[in-house]
Amino acid sequence: MNQYISAAVIKELREKKKLTQAQLAEILHISDKTVSKWETARGLPDITFLEPLAAALGVSVAELLTGNCIANQNKSSNLMRSSVYVCPICGNIVHSVGQAMVSCCGVALPALEAEPCDIEHEINIEMIETDLYVTVPRHPMTKQHSISFFAYVTADRFEMVKLYPEGEAQARFALRGRGKHGILYAYCNHHGLFFKKL
């Protein structure tokens, strides 16, 4: 990390929590002079104090280090605002509702930005009984170049089907509730994420 906790952040978070320096010191089993040194930039907390200090101040370690407190503003939990992250090293797929800091294999992952389908990545959808049958017929499925997953997202559901090289670029999703207004995603390991609205 290229930044460490600052004196101003410790003081601000302690005051927000309505703790005195002595009370914070008691929680951490240190002297109030130590807390005073941290808050006046005459010393820094040892790295072993980061987790206990964050817990005492009611924030995450990331919030403690950056000074940015994150409030949960997504009270409706609309899954249509989901973000997807894919590790370029191991292929791990991470889904989050809203913004997140995601890393895998030591790499910070950006949220994928979906693009409308092009000719090679055209997502075909057929109704079979009460299911959506999804394919990407023009795309190769080799070990080097393939569709890695499909995702079907509605306001209240996020379903994903993992695909494997040398298999078929196809999946079935049960059409339920608000599914008629959902979005289908296909992820190509070379060209990224593509979408098609229902």
- Which residue, 186, 142, 184, 149, is CA-closest to 165? 142
Model confidence, pTM:
0.62
**CA–CA distance, 111 with 76 (Å, rounded to integer):** 21
Question: What's the confidence (pLDDT) of residue 84?
Answer: 92
Question: What's the confidence (pLDDT) of residue 66?
Answer: 76
**CA–CA distance, 5 with 100 (Å, rounded to integer):** 20
Residue with tokens 């306001």: 155
Instruction: Return the beta strands (E) in 28-141 as ranges.
Output: 82-86, 93-97, 102-104, 107-109, 115-116, 124-128, 131-135
Question: What's the confidence (pLDDT) of residue 180?
Answer: 65
Question: What's the confidence (pLDDT) of residue 156?
Answer: 83
Q: How far is CA 87 from the centre of its chain?
A: 12
Counting runs of H as helices and runs of E as strands, what totals does the chain give?
A: 5, 12
Q: Mark residue 123 as left, alpha or beta (left: phi above 0; alpha: psi -120 to 50; beta: remaining).
A: beta
Can you give the pLDDT of all 198 residues of the chain as single tens digits? Answer: 446 788 888 898 999 889 999 999 999 999 899 899 889 888 888 888 888 998 999 888 888 887 766 554 554 456 777 889 999 888 899 998 877 888 888 888 899 999 999 999 999 999 998 899 999 999 999 989 999 999 999 888 889 999 999 899 999 998 876 556 789 999 999 999 999 998
Question: What's the confidence (pLDDT) of residue 75?
Answer: 47
Pair of tokens at residue 56: 């005492």
**CA–CA distance, 24 with 157 (Å, rounded to integer):** 42
Q: Are 30 and 61 in contact (CB under 8 A)?
A: no
Question: What's the confidence (pLDDT) of residue 2?
Answer: 46
